[in-house]
A and B are shown apart, each in its own frame.
Chain A
Amino acid sequence: GNSVTQMEGPVTLSEEAFLTINCTYTATGYPSLFWYVQYPGEGLQLLLKATKADDKGSNKGFEATYRKETTSFHLEKGSVQVSDSAVYFCDFVGGGTSYGKLTFGQGTILTVHP
């Protein structure tokens, strides 16, 4: 069935460090891929997305590339800030019987220290 495997956390970094959070998925067909972010005490908000193979989503300095051959959508940022501390979720939306439904990863807690 459909699933997402996301890098386990928590991840703790110093400010300006490089960030990678790995994400791989199992899905039929051609899903759209998303990264959502949840700041403390808030709901989830879209960080970036990619809808087809080799697309690169980017926002707020974060990037992720849709790699169909490796079924991956790793999140990267070159220089993290304290304000990036949050929980990051890798997700996808499939078609067919999974139409419109997000399949969530477990979430990765990121803490950035000054």
Chain B
Amino acid sequence: DAEITQSPRHKITETGRQVTLACHQTWNHNNMFWYRQDLGHGLRLIHYSYGVQDTNKGEVSDGYSVSRSNTEDLPLTLESAASSQTSVYFCASSESGLAGGTDTQYFGPGTRLTVL
């Protein structure tokens, strides 16, 4: 069955370190998204991609970067981790045609990141 996976599921790191969170989907979806979930803020969009070599900034992109070299993967990198980036991170994917914007997003299980 097709799925979307994230790794690691839990990560503890120190301030200033570079961290990369992996997201892999086997749906063959064009669209992929990274969100962070914090109490009182719901889910907020960090970065997203509509296809290979395409990346776009979301509402809370500062301090994060992504790259899309193939359809299946969208790794999220924290260039220099900060305590404010302690959060739960969710990756999602969706299939969407040129008409756009109506398709369901499928979420990964999440990565709990703690920055000490």
Contact = CB atoms under 8 A, between A and B. Distances in A.
Interface of A: 31-32, 34, 36, 42-46, 49, 51, 89, 93-96, 98-102, 104-107
Contacts of A93: 101-103, 105
A38 B41 CA distance: 15
Nearest to A106: B42
A42, A45, A104 interface centre (most CB from chain B within 10 Å)? A104
Interface residues of B, number: 28
Given A104-B43, A105-B42, A42 B109 contact: yes
B48 A101 contact: yes
27 contacts: A32-B101, A36-B107, A42-B110, A43-B107, A43-B108, A43-B109, A43-B110, A44-B43, A44-B90, A44-B107, A46-B104, A46-B106, A49-B104, A93-B103, A98-B101, A99-B50, A100-B50, A100-B101, A100-B103, A101-B33, A101-B48, A102-B33, A102-B92, A104-B43, A105-B42, A106-B40, A107-B42
The 6 A-B residue pairs with the shortest CB-CB distance in the complex, in nearest-first order? A43-B107, A95-B101, A99-B100, A32-B102, A44-B107, A106-B42
A31, A94, A101, A105 interface centre (most CB from chain B within 10 Å)? A101
